Amino acid sequence: MLTAAASVGAHIIGWADDWEVSGATDPMTRPSLGPWLRDERGPYDGLVAAAVDRLGRNVVDCLNTGYKMRDEKKMLVTYGHDGAWDLDDPADENRFTMEAWGAQMELRAIQRRNRDATVKTRAAGRPKGKPSYGFRYVRTVMGGKIDHVELHPHASQVIREVARRILADPDDVTPSSEAARLNRAGELSPADHLAVMYGKPAGGRPWSPQSLKNILLSEATLGYLMHRNKPVLSREDGNPVKLCEGLWDRATHEALKTAVSNRKATWIRRSNREYLLTNVALCGQCHTRLYTQTSNDVPPRYTCTARNKGWLQSQHCRPAPLIYAHLLDAYVEEWFLRELGDGLIYETVYDPGNGIAERIAETRANRERLRADREAGLYDARTTPPGSGTGTPRWDANWPRWKPNPRGHPVWSGGLRARRSPTGGFAHRTYKPARRSCSTSVCG
């Protein structure tokens, strides 16, 4: 480019290096070149590129950039062309268009090869692209083929803790509250985690409730190979292709779907300040809630404002109580620890059971998937889906048959010896912090 600039008697005043930016990106929106084209970097006399395909990878982008330079009376220079391009000259315009067309054909060929390679890799049951949050690719050689997939030691624990907290208290713990907690804790968001994992700096992007919800509800957490948000099915047996162990089992996945998707919470205004007694402290005279008041020169304080609002029940609330927030918080904390600090602590955790519930949920999911495929017309009743043998589809033939149990626990048989065992559920643990003794009761 220095040679091309010198050939027209120009010198370089700035560089636009858009490394790792696809050539198919519109030049106007590129991080480095875009501000120059939008006239945000000051005046300049022209644009120099190594070749026409560096301006854009399709005819439209190249011609838009070329005509912009022509209309603004600026030079457009590329290496290998004698002098500046003159798009008012039919010969130069045709040559410029042909080189842009060649760049577009090359881009289409590259995209076609990449698509074919992706389809071939997916058909072979191997991952390609970005790993899901909580997983990482392992390569035996740097930059080589992916050898296998495994759980990321830190990210897997982060997302498992999120799932545990939501299942323990689905009414108050939500993806929104967990996203806020992760941001306060300084945990890297999925995009920043992926960038750091591949040696790039974090961009400071926060966790969003929707992205966290998508991670929790995705079947990628079960260790499946995914395509368009659906598991890739094996051509041999029709089961989803599993890359490695999942973050949790199918029973936990179904419990998360119920807790996150079917949640119907009423909107309650909550304070974003660190006051212990918000919505808790009440006035000792009129028994209405206390509100906080803040100002620049006085510490935060709790006060009753009901009489000022004209409430009839507070018309005799004189004088209205007022106390510094840190004094009342300290007093209530001291009283709470003295009276209840040595009491029992109840914790709700999710126990997936002994694996039978997971197998039932997995079989149910596969059966529903096959039924949906049949209703969509992928095969009819006379056609057997891949890997299911002949006759009735395998998931309907081997669907477990429930049997009653006098003790109330469900048992199932389907080629296996029937036996009674818990199918998972919520376990309520009771323990004292000092003795650390634990007793567990399982609710199926």
Tens digits of residue pLDDT in 70-124: 999 999 999 888 888 999 999 999 999 999 999 999 989 988 998 898 888 888 8
pLDDT tens digits, residue range 383-423?
A: 444 444 433 344 444 444 444 444 444 444 443 333 434 45
Identify the band that residue 427 occupies on the pLDDT scale cut at 50, 70 and 90.
Answer: low
Task: Name the domain boundary from 303, 321, 341.
Answer: 341
Tokens describing residue 350: 């999710």
Question: Highest mean pLDDT range out of 2-6, 161-165, 351-355, 437-441?
Answer: 161-165
Q: To the nearest 5 percent, what fractions of the chain are helix, strand and coil? A: 35, 15, 50
Tell me if 285 is assigned to some domain.
no
In Å, how far are 236, 289, 309, 376, 379 from 225, measured between CA atoms? 15, 53, 60, 22, 23
| pLDDT at residue number 7 | 86
Is 156 in the same domain as 97?
no
Mean pLDDT of 340-348: 74
Is 335 in the same domain as 356?
no
Is 166 in the same domain as 247?
yes
| pLDDT at residue number 435 | 38
| pLDDT at residue number 142 | 81
Is 100 in the same domain as 22?
yes
Q: Is the dihedral of CA 405, 408, 409, 414 positive or negative?
A: positive
Tell me if 84 is assigned to some domain.
yes
Whole-number average pLDDT of the chain: 80
Tell me if 280 is assigned to some domain.
no
Is 253 in the same domain as 180?
yes
| pLDDT at residue number 121 | 86
Tell me if 101 is assigned to some domain.
yes
Look up the CATH number of the domain holding residue 204: 3.90.1750
Mean pLDDT of 255-283: 76
Give the count of domains, the chain. 4
Is 255 in the same domain as 139?
yes
**CA 103 to chain CA centroid, nearest Å:** 35
Is 156 in the same domain as 242?
yes
Better-scored residue on pLDDT, 435 or 345: 345
Look up the CATH number of the domain holding residue 18: 3.40.50
| pLDDT at residue number 272 | 62
**CA 153 to chain CA centroid, nearest Å:** 18
Mean pLDDT of 204-230: 91
pLDDT tens digits, residue range 4-26?
A: 888 888 888 888 888 878 777 88
Model pTM score: 0.58
pLDDT tens digits, residue range 304-325?
A: 988 888 888 888 888 888 899 9
Is 210 in the same domain as 309?
no
Mean pLDDT of 141-156: 89
CB-CB contact of 275 with 301 (8 Å): no
Q: Looking at the predicted structure, is the pLDDT value of residue 265 above 60?
A: no
Burial bucket for residue 34 (CB in 10 Å: 0-12, 13-18, 19+): middle
CB-CB contact of 351 with 425 (8 Å): yes
Is 141 in the same domain as 252?
yes
Q: Looking at the predicted structure, is the pLDDT value of residue 212 above 70?
A: yes
Which residue reads 């040696």 in tokens?
Answer: 199
Is 321 in the same domain as 420?
no
The whole-angstrom separation of Cα 261 and Cα 48 is 54
| pLDDT at residue number 214 | 93
| pLDDT at residue number 369 | 80
3-state secondary structure of 363: helix
Peptide bond into 319 cis (omega under 30): yes
Is 232 in the same domain as 322?
no
Least reliable range by pLDDT among 50-59, 231-240, 356-365, 399-408: 399-408
The whole-angstrom separation of Cα 339 and Cα 258 is 37
3-state secondary structure of 251: helix
Task: Name the domain boundary from 316, 341, 366.
Answer: 341
Tell me if 236 is assigned to some domain.
yes
Tell me if 44 is assigned to some domain.
yes
CB-CB contact of 334 with 400 (8 Å): no
**By residue range, what is the domain housing residue 62?**
2-121
Percent of the chain with pLDDT over 70: 81
Identify the band that residue 42 occupies on the pLDDT scale cut at 50, 70 and 90.
Answer: confident
3-state secondary structure of 137: strand
| pLDDT at residue number 269 | 59
Is 100 in the same domain as 75?
yes
CB-CB contact of 427 with 441 (8 Å): yes
CB-CB contact of 135 with 150 (8 Å): yes
**CA 2 to chain CA centroid, nearest Å:** 44
Mean pLDDT of 151-160: 94
Task: Name the domain boundary from 261, 279, 300.
Answer: 261
Better-scored residue on pLDDT, 45 or 267: 45
pLDDT tens digits, residue range 225-263?
A: 988 888 888 888 778 888 999 999 888 898 898 888 876
Tell me if 274 is assigned to some domain.
no
CB-CB contact of 4 with 79 (8 Å): yes
| pLDDT at residue number 407 | 42
| pLDDT at residue number 134 | 93
Tell me if 9 is assigned to some domain.
yes
